[in-house]
Amino acid sequence: MGEEAKGILAVIMTDKNKVTGAVPIFIADSEEEKEKTALILAKSLDAMVHDLENGVYFIVGH
Amino acid sequence: MIVILAGTMAGILTRLLLLKLDYRQYPGYPHGYISHFSLGAIASALGAVAVPALMNKDFTAFTFLALAAQQFREIRNIERQTLENLEETRLEKRGKDYIEGIARTFEARNYLVMGTAFITSIAAMLAGIWGAAAMALILILFSKTFMAGKNIGDICEVVPAQVHFKNSLLCVNEIDFMSVGLPEMRQKIQHEALGVMIKPKNDNARATLHDLGQRMAITHTVALVMGSKKEVDIPEFTPLARKNPDTGEIALYIMPVEKDMTSLIMAVQRTPLLESARVKPLKTQAGRIAAD
């Protein structure tokens, strides 16, 4: 706990046209893979998965 | 001798009665009890001894009281430091306001004890042992009732609320909390979370709930009493309290270990009202005009 990075730590999506930029981007082939990737990333980073509701998940350290 | 004894006993009794474990859950360990009990005993002895010394026209005795006050201020610092250190490893933070409130209470209680001992000693001197006993009783009752502090339940109404999702947004009644991305997580929250609305009874209460420290105190107390499913790697389960910006009502969301609405409402109601959060805009003219 304590000094964790804040802000967007990673972005996970199926449609690679939605996001560009200097964030780790993970492209999944299916919804299931997207959820699983998001879960594993969130657990490894002690962070939380948010949903942009346009098919993009992003992970934020709080 | 009887005078000193009477005062000291009254002081110690006051400290003991004020040292019960309450919703602050502090001090929750034997050594904490012992240190506060001993300080209380010292405070009462000092207060009691001052009276015969003054009767002997030994006015320097009062400087000892000043010395004692210095010591009690030190207590406040120690309490604050201890609690701040413990805070780092807590999942649900107490918050600085709450810590300050607890530290101040510990300091103030010692003054209260000293005052009780002092006045009881005077009573013993003037009216004998029965007079002292009566005075001690009055003072102890005073300490118990007037110094008890208020609770959230005194200034707010707490009613059950519904935890639901607007797509990925977690809401309690009409208030949005946060986006929860994972469908599994949403399902779990939907099934296991509890929510309440805390409705301020007047503008004073609304201003008090506006204070973030007071809200942290509420979430901390609730998590402590009900248990919380939050873990280091599950920030989704953090108990949260968010304000409805239009009405000033606070919605509370928690993933309790014990899912019981009655106990949640009770825990919120019994959360101590923080002195630092208490504001009274209605006491000012401008505040009263604004309230219309």
List Cβ neighbours of A32 (8 Å cut-off, separation of 6 or more).
none
A13 in B contact zone (CB under 8 Å): no
Mapped onto helix, strand or coil, the DSSP state of residue B43 is helix
Task: Look at B233 and A51 and tell me if their CB atoms are within 8 Å.
Answer: no
Q: What is the DSSP letter of B151?
A: B
* H/E segment holding residue A36: helix A31-45
User: For residue A3, what pLDDT is reported?
Assistant: 46
Could you read off the pLDDT of B2-12 as tens digits, one per residue?
888 888 989 99
- What average pLDDT score do residues B225-229 get? 91
Task: Look at A38 and B182 and tell me if their CB atoms are within 8 Å.
Answer: yes
pLDDT surpasses 70 at B25? no
Across chain B, mean pLDDT equals 88
Could you read off the pLDDT of B94-153 as tens digits, one per residue?
899 999 988 888 888 888 999 999 999 999 988 888 989 999 999 988 888 877 778 899
Instruction: Give the residue from A31, A33, A50 with the most B CB atoms within 10 Å of its CB, the best one to mutate.
Output: A50
- What average pLDDT score do residues B30-38 get? 83
Edge to edge, the sheet with strand A25-27 lists: A25-27, A7-13, A56-61, A48-51
Smallest Cβ distance to B232: which of A46, A53, A58? A46
A10 in B contact zone (CB under 8 Å): no
Q: Which residue has the higher pLDDT, B25 or B231?
A: B231
Task: Look at B89 and A35 and tell me if their CB atoms are within 8 Å.
Answer: no
pLDDT surpasses 90 at B282? no
| B residues 231-250 closer than 8 Å to A (CB) | 232-233, 235-236, 238
Task: Look at A57 and B183 and tell me if their CB atoms are within 8 Å.
Answer: no
CA–CA dist B242, B251 (Å, integer): 5
Q: Give contacts of B235 with chain A, Cβ < 8 Å.
A: 46-48, 62
CA–CA dist A26, A13 (Å, integer): 7
Contact B261, B250 (CB under 8 A): no
Size of interface A-B (CB pairs under 8 A): 44
- What average pLDDT score do residues B54-72 get? 83
- What average pLDDT score do residues B256-272 get? 92
B19: amino acid identity, one letter: L
Task: Look at B183 and A49 and tell me if their CB atoms are within 8 Å.
Answer: no
B216 CB-side CA count, 13 A: 17
User: For residue B197, what pLDDT is reported?
Assistant: 96
pLDDT surpasses 70 at B21? no
Task: Look at B182 and A49 and tell me if their CB atoms are within 8 Å.
Answer: yes
A57 in B contact zone (CB under 8 Å): yes
What residue of B is the nearest CA neighbor of A50? B181
Neighbours of B115 (CB within 10 A): 18
Q: Give contacts of B167 with chain A, Cβ < 8 Å.
A: 51, 53
Which stretches of chain B are DSSP H helices? 2-18, 30-55, 61-87, 96-146, 152-155, 183-192, 203-210, 212-226, 261-269, 285-291
User: For residue A49, what pLDDT is reported?
Assistant: 92
Contact B193, B253 (CB under 8 A): yes
CA–CA dist B98, B86 (Å, integer): 13
What residue of A is the nearest CA neighbor of B177? A50
The pLDDT confidence band at residue B187, using thresholds 50, 70 and 90, is very high
**Residue-by-residue pLDDT tens, chain A, 62 positions:** 344 457 889 999 888 888 788 889 999 999 999 999 999 999 898 899 999 888 899 999 87
Whole-Å CA distances, B253 to A59, B36, B247:
21, 35, 18
Whole-Å CA distances, A45 to A5, A37, B180, B240:
9, 12, 16, 21
Query: Is the peptide bond prior to B200 cis by the omega test (within 30 degrees of 0)?
Result: no
Q: Which residue has the higher pLDDT, B291 or B201?
A: B201
Query: What ranges do the domains of chain B cover?
Result: 2-146, 152-291
Percentage of chain B exceeding pLDDT 70: 97
pLDDT surpasses 70 at B74? yes
